A and B are shown apart, each in its own frame.
Chain A
Amino acid sequence: MAEEDTKHDYPDAVDMPAPSFWPMILAFGVTLLLTGIVTNYVVTLVGFVLSARAAVGWWRDVIPHELHEEVPVRHPADWAVPVRTTGRSVASLRVGAAHHRMRIPERVHPYKAGIWGGIAGGIAMAILACIYGQVAHGSIWYPVNLLAATVLPSISQAGETALGQFQLVAFGVAVGVHTITSILVGVLYAVTLPMFPRRAPLWAGFIVPLFWTGLIAATLALTNPALNDHINWIWFIACQIAFGLVAGFVAAKTQRIDTMQNLPFIERAAIESQWSEKPDGKGRQ
């Protein structure tokens, strides 16, 4: 019986590093060594002696072999309670049925949906901005010139009259800035739309433009002081919402595509092999 007790698959004792007070003595010695600078050289001397003695003691603790002490292992009755299964099953996400470890969204809009959405939204925004220019300042070139001031500092100095006139360089710059920004924001819309929980077009049309406007309002004084001085925020927000609604609508209309996350790497990489799916989808070779 006693023999049985000594047979087990865990060690009787574990070798642990032996305690040592030399580290503390060395720390104290080093501190005194430096304290002498602000007190007295005798303190430094004492610190040196302590440090040297502690260093020797420490070395003898570890050379030629590190000192260990055997710590007896506790009786199994005192061990940690073995981890048990919880008895609760893990709830699966309903979307996508079987693959509860999927990354959401499983299906997304293609990038080109964002590009077309951005272009459409950009046109809607430009039309509304030109209407504002005509109604409020008698010239459709007014908002065009203000936008160009982002890149052309000279326009920042222009007066009301000059801002209402057609300027070829400013027109080119404004069209460039507007097109690039619209496409980039459109792509951003397409990427983010599937991530919204529900009513994505509402987010795209109203909420996101309001956030975007807030961001612009906070930074416009730095990025485009001219626009900041002349901006009409009501019209500006209306233009943003026009962009959001149109871009969101166009992007949301497109067919979503699978992210391929559940396909094995070999298929995602489009490698043809004997393990690939047959074209008819009936099993593997």
Chain B
Amino acid sequence: MATVDYPLEKSRRQREFSLSEALYSWVATVDHKRLGLMYMTSAIIFFLIAGVMAMVIRAQLIVPENHVVGPQTFNRLFTMHGTTMVFLVGMPIIAGMSNYLIPLMIGARDMAFPRLNAFGYWIFLFGGILLYFSYLGANGLFGAGSAPDVGWFAYAPLTERAFSRGTSTDYWILGILVSGIGSIVSAINVIATTLSMRCKGMKLSRMPLFVWVMVVDAWMVILALPPLTAGQVMLLFDRYLGANFFNTQAGGSAVLWQHFFWIFGHPEVYILIFPAFATVSEVVPVFSRKPIFGRQAMVGAVVAIGFISFGVWAHHMFAVGMAPISNIFFATASFLVAVPTGVKIFNWLATIWGGKIRFATPMLFCVAFIFQFLIAGLTGVMLAVTPFDWQLTDSYFVVAHFHYTLTGSFLFGVFAAIYYWFPKATGKMLSETIGKWHFWLLVIGFHLTFDPQHILGILGMPRRVYTYAPGRGWEPWNMISSIGAAIQAIAIICFAWNVIRALIKGERAGDDPWDAWTLEWTTTSPPPEYNYETDPEVRSSRPLWDLKHPEDPDWKYE
């Protein structure tokens, strides 16, 4: 008896099989590109959640004596917003970009420790989920508090049992501690990969600037995270085992926590900004049609920033009342960071200068980055002046300064990276038109949001107040700031629409849509699992330039 084949049924069975197989292939993957995309996707989801929180914060502050949310909810919102942005958006973006791009850029097939790489991603994700589980767990089990409400730097002794009942602070500690394991693992992998898996001919001197910056970044992660972890473990000891490290009533030191936190916290700012540095150092030359100006100086500057950033942490603590010599030391060290940072800004500008500039979306984000990062740096230098800091510490001026650094600089750099490498990762181009809408709305929204906050700080508005009385001159600036936040939200919707649209019906990208020079553009978009069919070999820091311009290759001059 002949069997009857039902084509529709068969195709459905096949689809089911392929769906489950697809799910398994993502869960069990150790491919650096997939893990990179998983990191980036998770970061973007956390970014959207933190963005919604920011919108609620700005809605609460749009007018005086507003009651969109209560003070407790407000505290949780700014704590979770800050914690999410730093630990669950910034850090996975670093890991995601490193994972996806470094093996491609150095001509390797994968990261040095692929399984460890997968472990790093999953533990970061579970750490993030644990932090957000506090909304359910902390409240449900003890009836006191829900999400953490101690601010993203969780100052002692307010995190001690006497002031922070329930387990919300414990969730903050454990969530960050667990996700931090992922950051350390990823950093180790980046260093091992870069040191041991470069393709033939790729000396350190020929390594793309992107890779250089990310390697220094990885070293910083390895050095900066342990003090935070140590502080968090000590805090857990305080809370569970009756230790008194930070309990001032029992002879502990609250300032000790600040040292532990900021010796991590200040390098962390540079850790977060480095992916933007790395991106701008790749995008600006390609869109200016010139090699990067002062390549060696750029590498030197990034290494110098890495070193100096570990000696400036106490400029966050001027208001604590340290000895004058400490104030002078940390102020001077903070000024010193401006020198290599200035070198970088100068070199980016010198690269653009006289170039044949193409203002495609990645380049627009880079130009805005340079301008905004300069302002962020200048206000940073202002805050490094001890008496100035005494006046404006814990005010909205500080909020404006670090949002210029993390939104105006880091986020713009990340968007430049997404617009630049999205075609490589997906094989599809993002729309330039929607990209420009995204860019201009974000620029306008960003400046409307954060420029007035400088003025609010100077007018005396403290950070973290959930509302304010009318008649202090704060109303118009808060109104403008909140409107700016709404415009930023529209910009992010444009971005989301652009990504979805590109994935569904985006124009095909081709292998090298930007006429670029680094190795990743020699493979297909998206690259195959093994990256390159044959092992690449390079002779200069711009291998594609050499191939495209045999009459004038870089290797003659390097």
Q: Which chain A residues have a beta carbon within 8 Å of chain B's beta carbons?
A: 9-11, 14, 16-24, 26-28, 30-31, 34-35, 37-39, 58, 61-62, 71, 73-74, 76, 78-81, 83-86, 89-90, 101, 222
Contacts and interface: CB of A to CB of B under 8 A. Distances in A.
Contact of B529 (A16, A22, A76, A79): A16
Q: Which of B25, B114, B557 has the most CB of A within 10 A?
A: B114
A193 B515 CA distance: 36
B522 interface: yes
B549 interface: yes
A24 B118 contact: yes
B268 interface: no
Given A21-B27, A27-B123, A89-B551, A35 B115 contact: no
Interface string B115-151: 1101100110111011001000110010000000000
7 contacts: A19-B25, A19-B28, A24-B119, A28-B122, A34-B174, A37-B174, A79-B533
Interface centre among A14, A34, A62 (most CB of B within 10 A): A34
B524 A80 contact: yes
Contact of A85 (B137, B510, B549, B557): B549
B41 interface: no
A61 B123 contact: no
Contacts of A61: 115
Given A14-B529, A35-B130, A38-B141, 10 more contacts: A14-B530, A26-B122, A34-B178, A74-B528, A74-B533, A78-B524, A80-B511, A83-B547, A85-B548, A222-B385
Contacts of B133: 35
Given A16-B109, A31-B127, A74-B533, A26 B29 contact: no
B17 interface: no
Contacts of A24: 27-28, 118-119, 122
B177 A17 contact: no
A23 B115 contact: yes
A23 B119 CA distance: 4
Contacts of A38: 137-138, 141, 167, 170-171, 174
Interface residues of B, number: 56
B537 interface: no
B115 A31 contact: no
Contacts of B114: 17
Contact of B109 (A14, A35, A78, A101): A14
Contacts of A76: 533
B240 interface: yes
B384 interface: no
A71 B141 contact: no
Contacts of B236: 37
B118 A20 contact: yes
A22 B240 CA distance: 31
Given A27-B123, A83-B547, A17 B30 contact: yes
A264 to B, nearest CB: 14
Contacts of B510: 81
Nearest to B126: A31
Given A27-B126, A31-B178, A37-B236, A17 B549 contact: no
A30 B533 contact: no
Contacts of A26: 119, 122
Given A20-B115, A83-B512, A90 B533 contact: no
A34 B522 contact: no
A45 B133 CA distance: 19
B148 to A, nearest CB: 12
Given A16-B109, A30-B181, A71 B552 contact: no
Interface in B501-558: 510-512, 515, 522-524, 528-530, 533-534, 544, 547-552, 557
Contacts of B522: 80, 83
A17 B530 contact: no
Closest 8 CB pairs of A and B: A27-B122, A23-B119, A27-B123, A19-B28, A23-B118, A31-B126, A14-B530, A83-B547
Nearest to B141: A39
Interface in B37-79: none
A84 B521 CA distance: 13
B115 A85 contact: no
Nearest to A13: B530
A218 to B, nearest CB: 10
Interface in B347-385: 385
